[in-house]
């Protein structure tokens, strides 16, 4: 019991540090290329009636290849908002690692270890909404580990959360 309390306290401390401050500025990552499936409505940022400022458009990271000619009419190339990439680098990579394998320095020794997002079986077993809930409300909200901290500040930021879901999905390895 004593070791469990110690681990939870350590995780909360690490999670609090990761949720509010830059972790290691030298450890920034770019998301892996997105899976080959077409983006869903939940994957796309919400449309705005006003165009984004030129600086915002220039700071986004393409996460999926341009759709083929046959898919061009049915799918829009997904773009990850710059804020999603920043949140990933500042918060998620600390425990889940730069490549989504659950091997980040903040996750060392966690029981259970951080989720390995490259696992195709896990990727196939969860919905985008499930991932979004975990990101915003934490592991407890989805019946998983309490060491996955919530990020309630992201709840009103639908485009940022959708971008984070895209980043998590981009780590999927082929079967």
| SS3 of residue 46 by DSSP | coil
pLDDT of residue 172: 94
Structure confidence at residue 68 (pLDDT): 34
pTM: 0.59
Residue 50: predicted pLDDT:
40
The mean of the pLDDT values for the chain is 71
Complete DSSP assignment for 60-122? -EE-SPPPPTTTTTT-PPPEE-HHHHHHIIIIIHHHH-TTSSS--GGGTT-SSPPP-TT-HHH
Average pLDDT over residues 4-25: 38
Top-confidence residue, 97 or 26: 97
Instruction: Tell me: pLDDT of 75 over 60.
Output: no
Q: What is the pLDDT of residues 77-121, one digit of tens each?
A: 368 999 999 999 999 999 999 999 999 999 999 999 999 999 999
Q: Per-residue confidence at 30, pLDDT binned at 50, 70, 90? A: low
């Amino acid at each position: 019991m004593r070791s469990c309390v110690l681990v939870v306290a350590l995780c909360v401390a690490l999670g609090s540090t990761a949720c509010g401050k830059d972790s290691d500025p030298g450890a920034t990552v770019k998301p892996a290329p997105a899976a080959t499936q077409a983006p869903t409505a939940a994957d796309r940022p919400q449309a705005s009636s006003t165009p984004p400022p030129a600086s915002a458009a220039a700071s986004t990271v393409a996460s999926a290849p341009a759709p083929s000619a046959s898919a061009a009419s049915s799918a829009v190339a997904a773009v990850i908002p710059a804020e999603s990439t920043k949140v990933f680098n500042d918060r998620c990579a600390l425990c889940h690692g730069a490549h989504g394998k659950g091997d980040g320095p903040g996750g060392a020794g966690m029981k259970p270890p951080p989720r390995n997002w490259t696992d195709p079986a896990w990727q196939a077993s969860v919905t985008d909404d499930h991932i979004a809930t975990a990101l915003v409300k934490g592991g407890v909200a989805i019946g998983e580990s309490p060491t996955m901290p919530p990020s309630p500040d992201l709840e009103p930021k639908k485009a940022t959360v959708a971008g984070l879901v895209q980043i998590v999905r981009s780590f999927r390895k082929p079967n």
